A and B are shown apart, each in its own frame.
Chain A
Amino acid sequence: MMGRTFAEKALGRAVGHPVNANEVVTVEPDFCMSHDNTGPISRTFKKIGVKKVWKPERLVVILDHGVPAPSSDHAVNHKEAREFMQNQGAPHFYDVSSSGGVCHQKFPEEGFALPGQIVIGSDSHTCTYGAFGTFATGIGRTEMAAAWATGNIWFKVPESMKVTAKGRLGKGVSAKDFILKVMGDVKSDGADYMSVEFHGDGIESMSVASRMTLCNLGIEMGAKNAVCKPDQKVLDFIRGREKSSGWEVLWADPDADYVKEYSYDLGEITPGVAKPHTVDNYAPIAEVAGTAINQAFIGTCTNGRLEDLRAAAEILKGRKVAVRTIIIPASWNIYREAMHDGTLDALLDAGCIVCNAGCGPCLGAHMGTLAPGEVCVSTANRNFKGRMGDKESFIYLASPRTVAMSAVTGKISDPREAF
């Protein structure tokens, strides 16, 4: 008998019997994540005609998209979310405070991302939690309202893609460089509807934070979810944080069936970028080096973690930035740690500004939007036309190291030159 993929095992566990790819199943989510869009979801929820959420303790609401509110429209959405959570007696609400941060950082930090569990989120980057062995996927607002009311969501069990990485990344090369290369090969629709599994000793060698970067970008290949094997590093991370006891380490069988497979030697990966205006427009650094930039941005659910800020600081320490450089820690916990270990000092000394934890300019709402003709090199996950501001602006996606080195020179630069 053919072995099972991670997705088949996780969804099979949720329904209580073995399932195969392409079956349609209905499952009860372990947690439902939403952010600033909680207000509009609550309005749709009220239209269904039920008063109480099926299990209020399964809602996790984290305000992050526009924090503190940049407009009264944003403030209204926040207010609605706040009141809804209170009225529902739902305990897991992360307001605009030093307990907050970007939802996809806070959710794992608070112990909601657990192996083998099912998480749905009304945000496309919910797939990030696959770094903890969670089956996590993004959905829309209507569907979230329905899940709150019924405690159910239907899925077609996805087919799976296997990405294997062996070896180690070289000096100055980051997990982001690897996943940008993968996205360039798979293309932005190459994993449509699929579960993407990351395998191999190269993945095992990476930190949990780096694996979050990989899984975060699963959606940019069209994936339903992305996942890494939950190992001791993951178990160490979740110990003492877990908000649910009903989790189980699951992983694919060695003889599971995959519709596509890709293999990489991490030692051959070089720094790289995704050029404007698509995420799969990959170029090795040599091809774009020298491109003049106006702004550099390090942050977001993709690359706003402590290891990212430290990697940038390692390059920026003792140097000065040549363009405006915006740093946004992904959570206030990370902010504190970076403050205490001297990382923020190094970044401030170099001339960067450090903003409050949140999504920031990634989606063009505030804190660093671009003027016509401007170029930004960013650690975010999307470089769609005009995403960070004017429609005639340009975004290059890169690793924190590449962004830091580019900030120093004022043009896209190879971070390996810093060492």
Chain B
Amino acid sequence: MSDVLKGRAWVFSDDVDTDLIYHNKYLAETDPKKMPQYSFEYYPGKENFAREVKPGDFIVAGKNFGCGSSREHAVYCLKEAGVPAILAETCSRIYYRNAINNGYPVLFVKGLSEAIKAGKIGDGDDLEVDISTGSIKDATNGATFHGDAVSDLERDIMSAGGLIPYLKSRKKDVR
């Protein structure tokens, strides 16, 4: 299956913490659909993200995306905004598990941190991303990248749509 998704890039630095993605003052909100309005409110220069992000746009980040808190809001606020995947060089462990458990793809892209710093991929670039193969093309400037595919168990959870649907499909495991 080859599914090439097209969308614009929103580019972020290394070490984007969960407070920058979704600030703790909105933690009492529990409806995922209401979370996108707060996305990146605290990230300098990306205050416009919540207003201007379009379904299909991608998050492009360097190392250690989603470090900090275990809050799942930081996944929901992007997923519900229609961002189809996060492309990051690396990602914090809890953020990654939260993403997988919600059927939300994170592609680990080697060299992305340096490429961002060198300006080889920028805000608003048109990206073509094949989630299944990990192939990433910046159609604006021609740069290409490769994202690592996930392991078998993670892929099973992802393809079920997340951990809850995965468990429901394997009801025998639920005691």
Contact = CB atoms under 8 A, between A and B. Distances in A.
Contacts of B6: none
A124 B69 contact: yes
Interface residues of A, number: 49
Contacts of A77: 28, 30
A141 B27 CA distance: 13
Contacts of A141: 70, 72
A40 B97 CA distance: 18
B123 interface: no
B39 to A, nearest CB: 14
Contacts of B101: 140, 142-143, 146
A122 B70 contact: yes
Given A48-B167, A66-B28, A192-B64, A24 B162 contact: no
Contact of A152 (B23, B30, B173): B173
A391 B41 CA distance: 9
Interface residues of B, number: 44
Nearest to B67: A188
A154 B92 CA distance: 17
A410 interface: no
Contact of B97 (A43, A65, A139, A278): A139
B67 A24 contact: no
A189 B24 contact: no
A350 B84 CA distance: 54
- Among A39, A123, A222, the most chain B Cβ lie within 10 Å of the Cβ of A222
Given A124-B68, A139-B97, A222-B93, A146 B167 contact: yes
Contacts of A188: 15, 64, 67
A54 interface: yes
Interface in A65-105: 65-66, 71, 73-74, 77
Contact of A382 (B23, B68, B153): B68
A47 interface: yes
B72 A387 contact: no
B15 A189 contact: yes
B167 A150 contact: yes
| Interface of A (DSSP majority class) | loop
Interface in B48-73: 63-64, 67-72
Contacts of B15: 188-189, 278
Contact of A386 (B42, B64, B71, B174): B42
B67 A189 contact: yes
Interface string B149-175: 001010000000011100110010111
A384 B74 CA distance: 15
Interface of B: 14-15, 17-20, 23-25, 27-30, 41-42, 44, 63-64, 67-72, 75, 90, 92-94, 97-98, 101-102, 151, 153, 162-164, 167-168, 171, 173-175
Given A49-B174, A391-B42, 8 more contacts: A73-B28, A124-B70, A140-B101, A146-B164, A149-B175, A150-B173, A152-B173, A364-B24
14 contacts: A24-B151, A24-B153, A39-B30, A49-B171, A50-B175, A140-B72, A141-B70, A142-B164, A143-B97, A146-B164, A149-B174, A152-B173, A189-B64, A384-B19
Interface of A: 24, 39-40, 43-44, 47-50, 54, 65-66, 71, 73-74, 77, 122-124, 138-143, 145-146, 149-152, 154, 188-189, 192-193, 219, 222, 224, 278, 363-365, 382, 384-387, 391
